[in-house]
Structure 1
């Protein structure tokens, strides 16, 4: 019997439209002979399932079911395609855990941990993973610009602590740019992270569970036309994403070992894509994305393609791993 699969998409953050695109790609490529996939929009004002004609059916939050053609539809598994809140920060997954519904992401605590950039860095540093020098601010804290610059130097990056897709990130070159950058980051989150600039080759490394093994996908080199890998570079073609990356075999082996170690240290499962910068041949960890973009043009699907894995195989593996 076919399994009923909810592909959840949307969310409550600035990434809602990116998530809808990812979710629709999953729906397009999922094997319809094996699964009954339903697109489910999780939005601030509604939770609804959609049929092929885009008719909406209200989700019953008691058990995450809905009524379709006079029949109650229960799901066997949820494919999580929500970037940001509440899919990537663990909130929705905690709800699924409470009602006993399986899903394609890591457990809710791991998702919450990795969505919080500051907490993730504090864990990986304990295991000898190299990172940028960083300092933190919470909204309402006294801002001492001179002290911040003394800690991280210039240029530096100012980031929202809990946000994705480069929303709210600024590269600060001068003292005068610091306060506007902080205010920009506070538009996305009440906690911010300020990191030193690392000058080197940036790579993106996908690590997934595939056929019951932890697999490091071919590495992607990021070459941004802008000052850094910002929203325009990620989504509006202002970058080159070169897979496999133009790095030495030694660098490749080093970052693969570090990426697999980070995946294990954080007790991850399911999808992940992390960013690293090589400084003097050593990979420095930046952050981890646990619901990476899943369009045909996104980095992790590009990496899977080079590895000989189709989108259908990638998505089916995630569901079968969750069901087991």
Structure 2
């Protein structure tokens, strides 16, 4: 029987503040993808929405048409934050009938909106921090201090603040609303922080081994803590008993299902006393050499090459 290689377009870069993380994720994927199974087309998307394909620049529409013209079998978006993780790119791929790795435009646009996600999780009996949306014109909230303030629709803990007192919060409003008109205020949950990936393998939803995140610098797990050397310690597998690990994994699977995620997701969780609170759900988690998913996959016995193959085969 003749074996025909699948043509896969890796889409990376993008306009968001997580552009560099996306490039690093794509680099790791391109270094580890099984080139005996897949023929690769690199599609670099600039911060100005230009598509660079084999050295030629296209506007967005022409770039998408070029991907379609080349008879790509599967698109693999690895663009974090705006455009790649908010459902915009997924909607365009759906309209062109291009199969892709990851969640649908509907699930992506839901998961990126932390407020809407919280409402749905709460309605399904999942614990979330007490949350309020604030605007430049209305900064009132009902949380006791300390509080966390973060954008409603950003990833990688971009634009994250922690305030111990109301006076500090009020004095920082200009900085808080520097890049956003709306922000989310949440009660600060003091506890142990975990993150747990979920993959779909041959139609089965499988939780990965959870990671515990221990801060070694600063007070919050923000962008700097994630991507600065020595900002945090990531312990995979998390140092918890078997029952707690299973609870974390089951919660990650439940969130994946409730939001309607596909292929992959990663859920951030806080354990306080004996209660598990969900902080957020990521539909395109980082795939850099130091990201959680590769480490969790390795703890489950998957190589990076194997996890990439599983994800590509999950495309719908």
Query: TM-score, normalised on structure 1?
Result: 0.90
Query: 2:168 matched to 1:168?
Result: no
Q: Find 2:303's aligned residue among 306, 310, 313.
A: 310
* 1:201 equivalent in structure 2: 192
Give the SS at the match of 2:41.
strand
Distance 2:208 2:251 in 1: 13
User: Distance in 2 between the 1:187 and 1:207 partners?
Assistant: 34
Correspondence 1:142 to 2:145: no
Look up the match of 2:148: 157
Matched, 1:191 2:187: no
State how many pairs are aligned: 310
- Alpha-carbon distance in 2 for matches of 1:169, 1:60: 31
Distance 1:180 1:164 in 2: 25
The CA deviation string for residues 151-194 of structure 1, in whole angstroms up to 9 with x for no partner, is: 21111100010111111110111222213544334234322100
Q: How does 1:234-249 map to 2 (within 5 A)?
A: 234-237=226-229, 238-249=231-242
Q: Does residue 231 in structure 1 map to residue 234 in structure 2?
A: no
**Aligned partner of 2:76 among 76, 79, 88:** 79
SS in 2 for 1:163: coil
User: 2:269 is matched with which residue?
Assistant: 276
Unaligned runs of 5+ in 2: none
Instruction: Find the partner of 1:131 among 123, 128, 150.
Output: 128
Indicate the RMSD between aligned Cα atoms, in angstroms: 1.8
Q: Secondary structure at the match of 1:64?
A: helix
Are 1:162 and 1:189, in contact at CA under 8 Å, matched by a contact in 2?
Answer: no
Alignment CA distance shift 1:182-1:158 (3 Å): farther
Over 3 Å counting, the alpha-carbon distance change for 1:245 and 1:74 in structure 2 is same
* Residue in structure 2 matched with residue 5 of structure 1 by the alignment: 8
Q: Deviations over 1:112-154 (max 9, x none)?
A: 000000000000000100011111113x42324xxx3xx2111
Q: CA contact under 8 A between 2:49 and 2:60: conserved in structure 1?
A: no
Q: How far is 1:62 from its partner?
A: 5.2
Q: Report the Cα offset of residue 20 of structure 1.
A: 1.0
1:117 aligns with 2:120: no
Per-residue deviation, residues 11-70 of structure 1 (Å, max 9, x unmatched): 11111111111112111111112211122112243433444xxx3353672572439xxx
Which residue of structure 2 aligns with residue 61 of structure 1?
A: 61
TM-score by length of 2: 0.93
